[in-house]
Amino acid sequence: MYAELKRALNDIAAENSLLESEVNITAKILTPEEAIGKTERRDFPLLQGRESLIQADFKGALGQAFTDTPKTFRGRLKEILKLRLTDNGKRALFVATLNALLRYKCIINDTVHCKDNGPELCAGEMAGAIIEKYGPDINIGIVGFQPAIIDNFSKRLSAENMKVTDFDKDNINRIKYGVPVWDGRKMTEELIKTCDVILATGSTIVNDSLSQLISLSGKYQKPLYLYGTTIAGASKLLNLKRLCFQSS
């Protein structure tokens, strides 16, 4: 998957004579307020210090990526393509840059995270859209702890119709908004096997778990939706379903 994305990025850059040009790409670690503004809900992983949002600036076009291993970078596009994508920090740099370049070329938009009340509005729209499409008795599997999304689904569905996984040990085996949080390293297949629809954070492209999700959703014939700005470019290039209602 990463090789395919690298080829796509290289081809777009080469076709537009951007590989050798003197272009600076700056990955900036955003503060929580810069990333999502002021929000009443305080249990977003970003606000708890468990994740960071980095931002790549490519000729004024912005691309973002969530990561638990933030790094900064300044250099040429061809240097990003030389990165060995062996850890979350390097993958985040690559993904943010991919998003920025595709935004610059007008291939995608909506690459900047929503702020203030945006996450709450987006979560409500997301829950409403999926329940309208699949019905009020849907069993939804949510990959990744995103409090606004879980809360909005829990107001529309019973706890028995929801399953959640996460990698954060502080969330695993806890009850969040009435729903138990499973260990994503052990229970992902069980979640996909037993749910009707899967909704996953786009940061799975950074933590290297997206390939497994795609494979398992195919194995069990379950629709997979990804959300957020991190997955903006990859969802376009890999033809994946993406939900992101309030980003810009």
C-alpha 245/C-alpha 114 separation (Å) is 9
CA–CA distance from 210 to each of 1, 36, 127, 203, 235 (Å)? 9, 24, 21, 8, 11
Tokens of 130: 């999926």
Q: 109 and 103 in contact (C-beta within 8 Å)?
A: yes
Residue 45: the pLDDT is 55
Prediction pTM value:
0.90
Place of tokens 């009020």: 136
d(CA 16, CA 200): 33
Listed ranges 34-48, 167-181, 220-234; the one with the highest mean pLDDT: 220-234
Residue 32: pLDDT band by 50, 70, 90 thresholds?
Answer: low
Per-residue pLDDT tens over the stretch 18-30 = 887 756 777 666 6
Closest CA to 61 of 8, 98, 11: 98
Output the pLDDT for position 116. 86
**Calpha distance 2→48 (Å, rounded):** 29
* Percent with pLDDT over 70 in the chain: 89
pLDDT for 34 beyond 80:
no
DSSP letter (8 states) at residue 217: H
Confidence (pLDDT) at 170: 87
* Mean pLDDT value of segment 139-151: 94
- Amino acid 48: pLDDT: 42
Q: Residue 46 pLDDT more than 50?
A: no
